[in-house]
Amino acid sequence: VSSPVRAFKSVGGNPVVFDRVKGAYAWDVDGNKYIDYVGTWGPAILGHADDDVLDAVKATMEKGTSFGAPCPLENELAKMVIDAVPSVEMVRFTNSGTEACMGMIRLVRAFTDREKVIKFEGCYHGHADSFLVQAGSGVATLGLPDSPGVPASATKATLCAEYNNLDSVKAIFEDNKEDGIAAVILEPVVGNSGFIKPDKEFLEGLRKITEENGALLVFDEVMTGFRVAYGGAQQYFGITPDVTTMGKVIGGGLPVGAYGGRKDIMEMVAPAGPMYQAGTLSGNPLAMTAGIETMKKLKVDGVYEELERKAKKLIDGITAAAEKHGHAITADCAGGMFGWYFVEGPVKNFQEATKADAEKFGKWHRMMLERGVYLAPSMYEAGFMSMSHTDEDIEKTIAVADEVLSQL
């Protein structure tokens, strides 16, 4: 595999090898059809292989796949991102969410002239050395507390707090008054420890404590951006950070990432300022085109209400089936993103997520897969609803879940 969570190690069995995808469905190389709730890990919000996106990409491809020079498409997508995301006044495109987070952490340190950053247990911000500390997602799935090959010096300025626990953040600020904190970085909805929503008071508290201490607040919206609302989790919760990282949806299924924020902060980035970051394929015309066409469709009124209605219908149906058959379960959703745990809820942080029944999840995953429902092969990953999923798809999924839960 090219990314470890795809290996099915935590759920058992062999990974499914895909041949093609369309709409809400995926077909494996043996011709089996699945209702897909992974959606290429988030980007396929319209559904897979949207005809309008494909047509636009084909037309752009005739002009070339990469220029290594400025092109109007970058400006067009940048304007759309700036218009949509409350915190973003300037934006820099990259080729992945990891790359966006690498640029972001260098930027917050350059702007504040401080080294230390606070992250949260179970939040994943890509596989850069400085972030592979209690990082959730694939790291948790494979039982790796960190990763070998990451030098101690790379993580000594990364301090970990507990999600939804403001006191744990205040304590770190208190302990580091002398040299200060550059930034507090978080997933505003955690999708890499399953699915964990923040308390509104927690986000408000982070906004206040960062302002009081001259630190920046960073929302890693690689997963939540244009997924829980058009303006991301910051619009959904009404809390504006200083810097935002993005990816997934804004590339419309092609490799992309971005980081943006207040103009005075972003002007630190070269060529406007002294902080260096670059990329050969950054802003390439194919990814920009796919992003533009995707965002045009997401801007239509009612899209996110409909995504959340469908996500809620799915989790409510599965929760009811689980309770009917005597299983502990807790579930939640935001926009087109959802998740559940086999444990009495609520789950507010990574430590509580680890108490979920991993063995039950593995069996559940295999039995759902055998019946044509493709879920993320890890209890530490969120699920994704698309505009292409129908009520019939959801009802079929709930019926399959009912059957599986009666046998678990």
- C-alpha to C-alpha distance for 339 and 196, rounded to whole angstroms: 8
Task: Provide the phi-psi class of 255: left if phi over 0, else alpha when psi is between -120 and 50, else beta.
Answer: beta
Does 276 qualify as catalytic in the annotation? no
Strand spans (E) along 9-89? 18-22, 25-28, 33-36
Does 242 qualify as catalytic in the annotation? no
Does 259 qualify as catalytic in the annotation? no
Q: Of 361, 306, 356, which Cα lies nearest the Cα of 336? A: 306
Select which of 25, 34, 37, 124 is catalytic: 124
CA angle 316, 374, 237 (to 5 degrees): 50
- C-alpha to C-alpha distance for 377 and 250, rounded to whole angstroms: 24
Select which of 220, 242, 332, 393 is catalytic: 220
Angle between helices 303-324 and 285-298 (to 10 degrees): 80
What residues pair up with 261 in beta bridges, in sequence order? Answer: 90, 243
Q: Of 141, 335, 311, which Cα lies nearest the Cα of 232? A: 335
Select which of 116, 119, 197, 248 is catalytic: 248
List for the chain the helix, strand, coil content (%; round to 5).
40, 15, 45
- C-alpha to C-alpha distance for 25 and 48, rounded to whole angstroms: 8
Which residues belong to the active site?
124, 220, 248
